[in-house]
């Protein structure tokens, strides 16, 4: 009886998880379906999940109607550059805050992490004013500099580094390795799960960023794919089919990155909070 009850609970659990998964994927399925419809069919009721006449031409129009190729390249370039820089700066700073002892370390870390609680809208205008005075508005370099340091990444990496035994690092110091050698040869190889998690977070955040590029990029040749999708919204009409098609295209790189690093993702999340 006990075995049957356990199996019954497992079946109900799996059914519940399947329903939750279906509800989670439902908006994505609708987006994919809408990308193959005309504008008049997108919001028709009842919803036709499989279009009677799929508009595959939508995926061709999006490349011809706006310079989507240029926008995609800009987004990919900025996302890769900023993700790599954030991984380097976050992991390096986290090593200093977790494994290097210096006066005021914990207070400095606390002040730095506290910035996570400050909404970007609070310092958005002062930040823009500073960037404008430095003549970095409407340039990719200015945007890269703004996104190069992220307090959340430092916090997450530090929590993982705290789980690495100090005795291991002390043994490396006795063998003659300096702090840079310890960081590069010991700490980084052990940090693959946490680095993969940070990579996913950074990539998705920068790729999907809309407000930052909208504020800092004025030239069409510098804009990103998120701003390009907005171009399908006209003054008198909105081309919903093209918007959905462009959204599907914009989703592909994020999906690929997640698949590439997903085997480390759960492990990285689980091990980033072992010690505080």
For 179, residues 6+ apart whose C-beta sits below 8 A from its C-beta are 95, 100
State residue 272's pLDDT score.
Answer: 47
Look at residues 33, 26, 72 and name the one whose alpha carbon lies nearest to residue 50.
Answer: 33
State residue 213's pLDDT score.
Answer: 92
What is the C-alpha separation between 91 and 95, in angstroms, rounded?
6
State residue 268's pLDDT score.
Answer: 52
- The CA-to-CA distance between both ends of the chain, in Å, stands at 44
The position carrying tokens 């404008």 is 132
Determine the 3-state secondary structure of 136 from DSSP. coil
State residue 275's pLDDT score.
Answer: 45
What is the C-alpha separation between 27 and 39, in angstroms, rounded?
17
What the block records as the tokens of 110 is 């606390």
The position carrying tokens 């659990």 is 13
State residue 273's pLDDT score.
Answer: 47
Q: For the chain, what are the domain ranges?
A: 57-271
Determine the 3-state secondary structure of 59 from DSSP. helix
State residue 11's pLDDT score.
Answer: 80
Around Cβ 41, how many Cβ atoms within 10 Å?
18
The CA distances from residue 149 to 56, 89, 162, 225, in Å, are 41, 6, 21, 23
Per-residue pLDDT reduced to its tens digit, 8-39 = 678 888 888 898 988 888 888 888 888 888 88
Q: Which CATH architecture has domain 57-271?
A: Orthogonal Bundle (1.10)
8 Å CB contact between 35 and 58: yes
The CA distances from residue 179 to 86, 92, 128, 173, 222, in Å, are 20, 11, 37, 8, 40
8 Å CB contact between 26 and 47: no
State residue 266's pLDDT score.
Answer: 60
Name residues of the chain where pLDDT drops below 50. Answer: 272-276
Per-residue pLDDT reduced to its tens digit, 153-174 = 999 888 888 888 888 888 888 8
8 Å CB contact between 93 and 246: no
């Amino acid at each position: 009886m006990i075995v049957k009850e356990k199996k019954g609970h497992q079946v109900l659990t799996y059914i519940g998880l399947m329903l939750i998964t279906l509800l989670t994927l439902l908006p994505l399925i609708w987006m994919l379906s809408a990308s193959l419809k005309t504008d008049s069919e997108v919001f028709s009721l009842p919803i036709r999940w499989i279009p009677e006449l799929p508009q595959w031409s939508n995926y061709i129009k999006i490349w011809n109607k706006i310079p989507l190729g240029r926008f995609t390249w800009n987004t990919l370039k900025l996302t890769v550059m900023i993700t790599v820089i954030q991984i380097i700066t976050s992991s390096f700073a986290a090593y200093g805050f977790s494994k290097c002892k210096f006066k005021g370390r914990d207070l400095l870390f606390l002040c730095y992490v506290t910035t996570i609680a400050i909404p970007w809208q609070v310092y958005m205008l002062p930040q823009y004013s500073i960037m404008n005075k430095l003549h970095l508005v409407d340039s990719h370099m200015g945007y890269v500099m703004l996104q190069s340091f992220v307090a959340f990444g430092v916090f997450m990496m530090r929590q993982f580094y705290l789980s690495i035994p100090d005795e291991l690092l002390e043994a490396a110091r006795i063998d003659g390795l300096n702090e840079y050698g310890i960081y590069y040869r010991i700490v980084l190889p052990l940090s693959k799960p946490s680095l993969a998690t940070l990579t996913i977070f950074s990539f998705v955040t920068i790729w999907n960023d809309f407000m930052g590029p909208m504020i800092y990029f004025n030239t069409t040749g510098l804009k990103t794919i998120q701003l390009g999708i907005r171009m399908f919204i006209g003054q008198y009409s909105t081309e919903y089919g093209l918007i959905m098609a462009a959204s599907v295209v914009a989703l592909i790189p994020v999906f690929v990155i997640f698949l590439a690093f997903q085997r480390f993702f759960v492990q990285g999340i689980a091990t980033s909070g072992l010690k505080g």
